[in-house]
Structure 1
Amino acid sequence: MEASSLSKTFFLFVLLLATLGQGYGSAGTCVDFYKSTCPSVESIVQSAVRAAVKANPTIAPGGHTIGTAACAFFSYRLYNFNNTKKPDPDINPSFLPKLRSLCPENGVNALRRVALDTGSVNSFGSSFYDNLKKGRGVIESDAKLWSDPTTQVFVKQFLGLRGLHGLKFDVEFGRAMVKMGNIGVKTGTQGEIRRVCAAINR
């Protein structure tokens, strides 16, 4: 499947996720919206998304529990963080040699892709947060989720630490996708259904 097709499939997948759990007549999205005009659309999209994700698991939506990042985007953390000529202190010293071996300082492997969730690159789940707790966050913003007290509490909840009421990552992720899908939803005669996703109708 070509990159453009994957992008369109992913876009449709996000729209489909946004419909889950929404009732009829709500101000946002709803299940079976196209029941009369295109009754098979949900099953068609689900089938296409399953096939696309099976072919390339890293295109699934986000949360960084699936996917990779190029060395060029985070290698500064390994050698000269904030111009200190030292690595980012948020990186576990035992994890640093592995990252450096994948991303040498000379930049020869700048385009090499590194798993964001070490040991679970193609598996959706909360192991990503366990890696953050262990100082194995690859991207700086991910590592800050643990080092910043404001966001650390949520990481702990996903991991069920210190007696905090645990959150189920897959459930909360689904809820977040629904909320995002309902941001700025156009209804009635607002907007248009595009014939080509990348261009307005003419």
Structure 2
Amino acid sequence: MENSSPLVLMLLGAALMLCLHPLQAQIDGTGLFHDYYAKSCPKAEEIIKSIVEKAVKKEARMAASLLRMHFHDCFVKGCDASILLDDTSNFTGEKTANPNRNSVRGFDVVDNIKAALEKACPGVVSCADIVTVAARDSVVLSGGPSWIVPLGRRDSRGASLQGANQNIPAPNSTHQTLETKFKLKGLDVVDLVVLSGGHTIGLSRCTSFKQRLYNLTGNGKPDPTVDQGYLKQLTTLCPQTGTDDNQTTPLDLVSPTKFDTHYFKNLESGKGLLITDEILYSTKGSKTAALVKFYASHSQAFFQQFAKSMIKMGNITPLIKPSGEIRKNCRKMN
């Protein structure tokens, strides 16, 4: 390969190693196993996949919604299905947190999966594992990579509104804030860039990126990193005043329902939608900029690393037996 940088060679080597050594079923130290339900509910993953497939066929956007739900769950208290709990008169969950309110979607799909699993094998499959497997299946159904999901998570008996507000990166986070919040969860810069690549599918509301169109730094001017043609397109969709900021536009304007590398190519041309997208590339001299450039032209490496990073994220402080519980209804504790 001509003019290959040390970073490019390192990443290609990592991708090759993944090809030679398939992702392991058990992740050291977590107590999770790919065949956890082999005897207790052998058709669990098949049931989850069939319902996710129907949901995505009905609405392609649902794939991105289920992937995002998994991310928002894992960044608060770990991957424990705390995001699914409804508020009650004496309990406050995470659904009304700023990153989740009127934004996180797919709860009805999880309900349908849980109902089917309770019918097939009552009290066996956790809501936390449902969310994790559904995220994997959503990526696959969108044309992305597959991976072995370690299983055996249990469901939390609590939630953290404060944690949801503090731990989930906001769409206007700085480069340093992104790195810090990922690092606090045991995720490195490669994980940050690759998992951000999940924005190759899905939509975002005007309210999530409007600041950069009109007044990024308080000077009344747009973000200078936005391509001018793209800026005009976005300001037409999201006028500064007199509009519904809940209107949506694709995170990847080229192929919004296909899991591919156009997300990274968009960043290279100033067409990343969120501040947290474009900043990965516009922060010149950063490792994230080099990674964006690499993955834009190495789709296989992106797919391989995305699978690895998803497993890593899915293993953030999971609850395992005897901790937690197996909820009968994902929206409330037993």
What is the TM-score with the length of structure 1 in the denominator? 0.80
Residue-pair matches, total = 178
* 166 and 55 in structure 1: CA distance in 2 versus 1, 3 angstrom threshold: closer
Are 1:100 and 2:235 an aligned pair?
A: yes
In the aligned structure 1, how far is the partner of 2:218 from the partner of 2:290? 30
Q: CA contact under 8 A between 1:68 and 1:121: conserved in structure 2?
A: yes
Are 1:188 and 2:325 an aligned pair?
A: no
Q: State the partner residue of 1:171.
A: 304
Using the TM superposition, give the Cα deviation of residue 183 of structure 1 relative to its aligned residue in structure 2, in angstroms: 1.4
Identity %: 35
Q: State the partner residue of 2:250.
A: 115
In the aligned structure 2, how far is the partner of 1:23 from the partner of 1:36? 16
3-state SS, counterpart of residue 61 of structure 2: helix
In the aligned structure 2, how far is the partner of 1:174 from the partner of 1:107? 42
3-state SS, counterpart of residue 87 of structure 1: coil
Cα-Cα RMSD: 2.1
In the aligned structure 1, how far is the partner of 2:316 from the partner of 2:206? 33
Using the TM superposition, give the Cα deviation of residue 72 of structure 1 relative to its aligned residue in structure 2, in angstroms: 1.7
In the aligned structure 1, how far is the partner of 2:218 from the partner of 2:26? 55
In the aligned structure 2, how far is the partner of 1:167 from the partner of 1:25? 23
Are 1:133 and 2:135 an aligned pair?
A: no
Q: CA contact under 8 A between 1:21 and 1:31: conserved in structure 2?
A: no
In the aligned structure 2, how far is the partner of 1:112 from the partner of 1:158? 30
In the aligned structure 2, how far is the partner of 1:85 from the partner of 1:35? 59
Using the TM superposition, give the Cα deviation of residue 185 of structure 1 relative to its aligned residue in structure 2, in angstroms: 2.1
3-state SS, counterpart of residue 190 of structure 1: coil
Q: State the partner residue of 2:54.
A: 51
3-state SS, counterpart of residue 199 of structure 2: coil
Q: CA contact under 8 A between 1:57 and 1:66: conserved in structure 2?
A: no
Q: State the partner residue of 2:288.
A: 151
Q: State the partner residue of 2:146.
A: none
Unaligned runs of 5+ in 2: 1-21, 69-197
3-state SS, counterpart of residue 204 of structure 2: strand
Instruction: Identify the structure with bigger relative contact order (alpha carbons < 8 Å, sequence gap 6+).
Output: 2
* 87 and 185 in structure 1: CA distance in 2 versus 1, 3 angstrom threshold: same
Amino acid at match of 1:180: M
Q: Which string of whole-angstrom CA distances, capped at 9 and with x for unpartnered residues, describes residues 75-108 of structure 1?
A: 1211122111111011011211111111111141
Q: State the partner residue of 1:70.
A: 205
In the aligned structure 2, how far is the partner of 1:124 from the partner of 1:111? 24
Q: CA contact under 8 A between 1:158 and 1:169: conserved in structure 2?
A: yes
Q: Which of 20, 25, 28 does residue 23 from structure 1 map onto?
A: 25
Using the TM superposition, give the Cα deviation of residue 166 of structure 1 relative to its aligned residue in structure 2, in angstroms: 7.3
In the aligned structure 1, how far is the partner of 2:58 from the partner of 2:33? 29
